[in-house]
Amino acid sequence: MIITRTPLRISFVGGGTDLENFYLQYPGRVISTTIDKYFYIAINSRFDGAIKLGYTDTELVERIDQVKHPLIKGALEETGIEKGIDIVSLADLPAKRTGLGMGASSSFTVGLLNGLYAYFGKHVAPEVLAEKACDIEIKKAGSPIGKQDQYAAAFGGLNLITFNCNGKVEVEPVYLSPKIKEDFQKHLLLFFTKKERSANTILSEQKQNINEKLEFLKKMSDLTLVFKEALLRGDLQQMGELLNQNWLMKKNLASSISNPEIDQMYESAIRAGAWGGKILGAGGGGFFLVMAPLDKHINIQNALKDYQVIPFHFSESGSSVIFKG
């Protein structure tokens, strides 16, 4: 049996600039961190030659061409497994069939690939896992997503990820002093909006709007470099204000990134003392991240008392095999 653990991620600034239609024209950049919320994939052989899959649905089929889940099918095809396998997935923050904004589908794909390679006794480098996951999600499954989530899940930690015009991806770790890192985490609050949404619908519209919104996207990409410098200095207030700038620009990229309820949440947080915030991922629902002075946290939680607070910490490692037996 093989069990992998793959982190979910929080993206701070630059989200949306990892779409190919943009970064082939201008370098895309994202600053994100993985957190201590994970996808777990368990893989075991089956004596009867069938393929059994357990996720939000259960599949029991005889042949790979009968597999319905496009990401599992793509990963099995990539690793050459045609029969005789059990695959089960579990998550710390389970979604139904839609997205929560933490890169869950990519964490799932990266963790599945990592486990399937380990099943054959192979160790695969993070950049290979990330690119293979991109191929499966974007090319094979046809998801209108970018590449940041796969690289975040594979590498882990706090990184500036650059998507170059030649298609190459660079992952640059952002090393912080222990005090700045602790302060950064302490000043963040994470709320669940109680809304799940289809990221693909939002991202499809966003892709169609790229040329029209090119200047917004360029500014968002450049904003990551300013955010990184503020982060290295430990200028938390400027970082919060940059989150606010990034969110105001991101809202312009597609009509369904925000909605009246999200706008109300955001305005309530700002009135209660937050420096800034954002909806994670494509938008439309999922998780709402707030950055605020510590003495304003209680006010903000009271202002958003109808929404669940999700405790979390940054994590350092990417997808890993935690059991092999």
Q: Of 26-35, 92-101, 225-234, give the lowest mean pLDDT range.
A: 92-101
Of 276, 89, 290, 279, the residue nearest 194 (C-alpha): 279
The Cα–Cα gap between 3 and 131 comes to: 21
pLDDT of the residue at 312: 97
- CATH 3.90.79.10 describes domain 2-176+315-324: no
Q: Note the pLDDT of residue 97.
A: 46
Of residues 203 and 34, more confidence is placed in 34
Single-letter amino acid, residue 1: M
For residue range 143-152, list pLDDT tens digits in order: 989 999 999 9
Which residues face 60 on adjacent strands? 52
Work out the average pLDDT over 12-28: 95
Q: Give me 21's structure tokens.
A: 């239609």
- To the question of pTM greater than 0.75 for the whole model, the response is yes
Superfamily of domain 178-309: GHMP kinase, C-terminal domain (3.30.70.890)
Bridge partners of residue 279, in order along the sequence: 288
Q: What is the pLDDT of residue 198?
A: 60
Residue in this structure with the two tokens 């989200």, named with its chain if needed? 15
Instruction: Calculate what percentage of the chain has a pLDDT beyond 70.
Output: 97
What whole-number distance in Å separates Cα of residue 213 and Cα of residue 210? 5
Residues of the chain with CATH 3.30.230.10: 2-176+315-324
Q: Band the pLDDT of 281: cuts 50, 70, 90.
A: confident
Q: Where in the chain is the domain with CATH 3.30.70.890?
A: 178-309
Binned at pLDDT 50, 70 and 90, residue 138 comes out as very high
